[in-house]
Amino acid sequence: MRRCAVLACLLAVGVWLSACRAEEPMEPVTSGFRCQAEVIFDGMTVCGTLTREAAGTLTLSLTAPKELAGLTAAWDGTQVVLSLGSMRLAAAAGQTPMEAPLSRLCEALDLSQGQRGCMTDEAVVLENGTDTYGYVLRYDAATGFPQTLTVSDPAIEAVFTDWERTTTE
């Protein structure tokens, strides 16, 4: 009788443990999306629509601060192209304060492609980096869409909301 009770208890614990085993998280969505973004860097906060069509590129159409509303800053992998209405300016490397945040966010998303983070109660957390900086990407466990991205050098914090897919992968 005691043996049956022990076996039943072990079986119940085994069933409970298998039911609690976390599923492997999905990979983050790193391209083919558009979202609202708040990016904090160098003592400045900018807000706008971030569009990420493909690896190596990133566009941020600013809505705030109001002095910059309407300005679009696009990283094409080598330079920042600033647009306002019909005016376009390709800025040489190091000539605009938007270069560092755009290039680092873009590179961090590129490096996250195909990676999987660790599940937490609120999100999936992926820590990665290069020889010169590290980053932490938090993304939604159900959809894979980025929630926050923090870069160490230069210090950049980005919060992403209201995502939508722009391509099907």
Tell me what pLDDT residue 24 has.
Answer: 77
For residue 167, pLDDT beyond 80 = yes
Let me know if 108 is exposed, middle or buried by CB neighbors in 10 A (0-12, 13-18, 19+).
Answer: buried
Answer yes or no: is 145 within a domain.
Answer: yes
| Closest of 65, 64, 102, 63 to residue 81, by C-alpha | 102
Averaged pLDDT, 144-165: 97
**Residue burial 9-29, b: 16+ Cβ < 10 Å; e: rest:** eeeeeeeeeeeeeeeebebbb
* Number of domains forming the structure of the chain: 1
Answer yes or no: is 67 within a domain.
Answer: yes
Tokens in use for 79?
Answer: 């330079």
Domain of residue 157, CATH code: 2.50.20
Give the Cα separation of 71 and 48 in Å (integer). 10
Tell me what pLDDT residue 25 has.
Answer: 83
Answer yes or no: is 45 within a domain.
Answer: yes
**Residue written as tokens 């941020």?**
60
Answer yes or no: is 101 within a domain.
Answer: yes
DSSP H helices, 26-161, are: 99-112
Answer yes or no: is 115 within a domain.
Answer: yes
pLDDT digits (tens, 9 = 90+) for 50-104: 999 999 999 999 999 999 999 999 999 999 999 999 999 999 878 888 999 999 9
Tokens in use for 137?
Answer: 């990407």
Give, in order, the Cα–Cα distances in Å from 70 to each of 19, 64, 66. 51, 9, 9
Tell me what pLDDT residue 162 has.
Answer: 98
DSSP H helices, the chain, are: 2-20, 99-112
Tokens in use for 56?
Answer: 């190596």
pLDDT digits (tens, 9 = 90+) for 14-63: 333 333 335 678 899 999 999 999 999 999 999 999 999 999 999 999 99
Give the Cα separation of 108 and 90 in Å (integer). 22
Q: How many CB atoms lie within 10 A of CB 70?
A: 13
Q: How many CB atoms lie within 10 A of CB 150?
A: 17
- Domain of 65, in residue numbers: 26-165
Answer yes or no: is 46 within a domain.
Answer: yes
Give the Cα separation of 124 and 117 in Å (integer). 6
Tell me what pLDDT residue 94 has.
Answer: 84
Answer yes or no: is 14 within a domain.
Answer: no
| 7 pLDDT tier (thresholds 50, 70, 90) | very low
Whole-model pTM: value is 0.82
